[in-house]
Structure 1
Amino acid sequence: MVLTFKSPVRPPREVSMTRVTLRDVAAHAGVSHQTVSNVMNGHPSIRPATRDRVLAAIQALDYHPNQAAKALREARVTTLCCAFYGHDAENVDDPYRNVVQSAFIAEANVHGYSMTTAFVQDGPESFDSLRQRYRQGQFGGVVVVGNTLNAAQWQALQGWGLPAVLFDHRLPDSAALSVSSDYTSGMHALVAHHAAQGRRHLALIIPLQDAASTAVDRREAFRAAAAQHGLQAHLIAGDWSYASGEAALHTLWRGGNSPDAVLGGNDRMAAGALRAALELGLRVPGQVAISGFDNFEFSRYTHPSLTTVNVPHAEMARRAVRALLARLEQHQTPPNVVLPASLVIRESA
């Protein structure tokens, strides 16, 4: 049966420029807002004539309930967000992003939550978009993945009242709740391994100007560990990519002062260095030892397999979700988490 409705006796409110609310529907139908709520929830006490009048008002005003806001009011937030700050949404082959995003989703699902993803770039428009999504009730809290996020940006997030956890990054002199890894001890273990093999001249491929805590920790630990073991050491620029690792090793060998161990600041640059060694006809680890940092899955399948430092990214992601849920559900601020990084010895060093 097709129902048609005549124009209402009283004119509707002026609601065209704003979201129609439950109270607008109630005023249109001449009933209380609780009656409208009862109709929408199928309460059996509502008389058929009243139900028809409310349904007619809903149709006339094109009312759509805001389910996200309803969930927030009832303390039943069921969606979290992982916000990748400074990451390219199109870079789908980034192993770091793939590992942590998968772990976020899996852990959220364990606790009965879903996980949405946002990509935030530097600039007010991008942050405003994230804020609007939060205020619209699309998610109840966020894990921020981005080791270039600064203290001012973090404070802006806090100013929204947004429950947040900082992933794989620490801010100096900040109360930011964070989950990270001990990159310093991992780098010390890697340098000590090269020293124990009799390597005396080490080079680290890493971004030289990157101010992120993950990069700073690796650079400073490399310098300190090399000095501790009395090794010659220097840095050469890379940009975290495979291609930059390949280019860096070629540059080192063209310079005529070839190291006997090359450390990649991550596994991708180390894999690029392995490729360059093959192109130059170098024996690995005979002429030069090559090692990485992260222990992504592909590091087991390079030839030779890559000695590296294991960073427990998946466990870090699980801990970050749990920390966020502690804020949302128990209104607690758990302590910061720093998980150990450990040496993985394979064939390349």
Structure 2
Amino acid sequence: MHPEEMFMTRATLRDVAAYAGVSHQTVSNVLNDHPSIRPTTRQRVMDAIRALDYHPNVAAKALRESRVTTLCCAFYGHSADEVADPYRNLVQSAFISEANAHGYNITTALLGGDRPGGFEGLRAAYMQRAFGGAVVVSTTLPPGRMRELAAWGLPTVLFDHEDPQGQLPSVTTDYAGGMAGLVAHLVSRGRRDLALVIPSDDFGSSAVLRREGFLAAARAHGVRSRIEAGAWSYEAGEAAFRRLWAGEDRPDAVLCGNDRMGAGALSAARALGVRVPEEVAVSGFDDFEFARYTAPSLTTIHVPHEAMARLAVRRLLSLLSGTAPPDEPPGCQLPVTLVPRESA
């Protein structure tokens, strides 16, 4: 590897080994001043370290020696008042549970455009060894921020978002496939006019994949499709259903971008005297616990948020301990599952 290739990327021990033409264990022995290393080999490794500006990952070493027992769960684009958000609560609880199972604690950070010092504060806390690595939760993390994290050398796993450059490992799920499964399920039950209620101005990966999956599946099945804009809330789902039902051109299926919107749509249907699913099918997405208690119970897509969160923590720990396989793909995508219930 040439030094210029390390721009915006922190050199690793394996990069040094490749540059010097030795094994990564030899580089480790040089760094630990092992007496068995020949002077010529030691010099070659030291030259590579200087050329690549390599700095040992002291956080990983500290973690291995049990001096750092805290990991960070950093939410990007989430506000402090979103305490009632089932998504945030579920993943944070799973992070804590998995970290505790391995003997570590979790600290939480909120990052975003309205917190100009957020990333700088995160970096400062990492440099002060307040935590050994971070899981960053976001579907909207800008590429520039990903490059920053990689350049800092902060051990990071992305949750619910992929790094297009492949520098940071990630754990995601198949949102587009989930929407395709919902469309297929509805079409198999005779639905031919489908409306998706989802924010039209949300360009995060989750929203984009849900919209694209819906539209592509509707085209593939030869059924009508439309998008009805609405925020990720119960109230938005309720209002969107009322708008759809107020028009003369009513759909026979209303798919909602998440379960909160789906619950709102069911509430509006009930208030308007619309029979679900006889007159219109209604579905959600995510499979939060309350979806089984709505009236009627909500057909939805189960997103394995808990399994994703636990896997993200394990990937971070393997990254810190140096036990991650060198040929492991950066992106890991877990499957979703259709959960048919009474509403569709």
TM-score (norm 2): 0.79
Q: Deviations over 1:159-191 (max 9, x none)?
A: 221000000112334432110101122111110
Amino acid at match of 1:232: R
Aligned to 1:290: 282
RMSD: 1.8
The 3 A distance-change label for structure 1 pair 326 and 303 is same
How far residue 134 of structure 1 moved from its aligned partner, in angstroms, is 1.1
CA pair 291-222 structure 1, distance change in 2 beyond 3 A? same
Q: Does 1:162 align with 2:154?
A: yes
The partner residue of 2:303 within 311, 315, 330 is 311
Task: Note closer, same or farther for the CA distance 1:256–1:121 as it changes in structure 2 (3 Å cut).
Answer: same
* Alignment partner, residue 324 of structure 1: 316
Query: Counterpart of 1:136 in structure 2: which amino acid?
Result: Q
> How far did residue 127 of structure 1 move?
1.3
Find the partner of 2:83 among 62, 69, 92. Answer: 92
Does 2:138 align with 1:143?
no
In 1, Cα distance between equivalents of 2:61 and 2:211: 48
- 8 Å CA contact 1:150–1:171 kept in 2: the answer is no
2-side partners of 1:70 and 1:179: how far apart? 24
Residue aligning to 2:17: none
Whether the 8 Å CA contact 2:255–2:284 is kept in 1: the answer is: yes
- Deviation of 1:348 after TM superposition, in Å, equals 0.4
Give 3-state SS (helix, strand or coil) of 1:92's partner: coil
Alignment of 1:1-349 (within 5 A): 71=62, 74=65, 76-122=67-113, 123-330=115-322, 332=324, 334-335=328-329, 336-349=331-344
Distance 1:229 1:69, change over 3 A: closer
Distance 1:319 1:132, change over 3 A: same
Amino acid at match of 2:250: S
Q: CA deviation at 1:331?
A: 5.6
Q: Tell me the TM-score normalized by structure 1.
A: 0.78
Partner Cα separation in structure 2 for residue 134 and residue 319 of structure 1: 22
Partner Cα distance (1:166, 1:72) in 2? 20
Aligned residues: 282
Instruction: Give yes or no for contact 2:210–2:257 (8 Å, CA) kept in 1.
Output: yes
C-alpha contact 1:182 1:341 (8 A) present in aligned 2: yes
- Residue 100 of structure 1 and its aligned partner are, at CA, apart by 0.3
Deviation at 1:71, TM superposition (A): 4.9
Tell me the distance in 1 between the aligned counterparts of 2:108 and 2:68: 16
Report if aligned partners of 1:69, 1:136 keep a CA contact under 8 Å in 2. Answer: no
1:124 is paired with a residue of what secondary structure?
coil
Output one character per residue of 1:117-152: Cα deviation in whole Å (capped at 9) or x when no partner.
111122531211111111111101000001110110
Gaps of 5+ in 1: 1-67
- The answer to whether the 8 A contact 1:205-1:264 is kept is yes
CA contact (8 A) 1:141 1:328 kept: yes
* Alpha-carbon distance in 2 for matches of 1:347, 1:310: 15
Q: Partners in 1 of 2:339 and 2:82 — Cα distance?
A: 27
Q: Could you tell me which amino acid in structure 1 is paired with residue 97 of structure 2? A: A
Q: CA offsets per residue over residues 12-67 of structure 1, 9 Å max, x none?
A: xxxxxxxxxxxxxxxxxxxxxxxxxxxxxxxxxxxxxxxxxxxxxxxxxxxxxxxx
Per-residue deviation, 1:70: 11
Q: CA deviation at 1:330?
A: 1.6
1:313: how far off? Answer: 0.3
Following the alignment from structure 2 to structure 1, what is the Cα–Cα distance between the partners of residues 312 and 65?
24
Q: Per chain length, whose mean CA-contact separation is higher, i.e. which structure has more relative contact order (CA < 8 Å, sep 6+)?
A: 2
Structure exhibiting the larger radius of gyration computed from Cα positions? 1
Secondary structure of 1:165's counterpart equals strand
Report if the CA contact (8 A) 2:60-2:322 is conserved. no
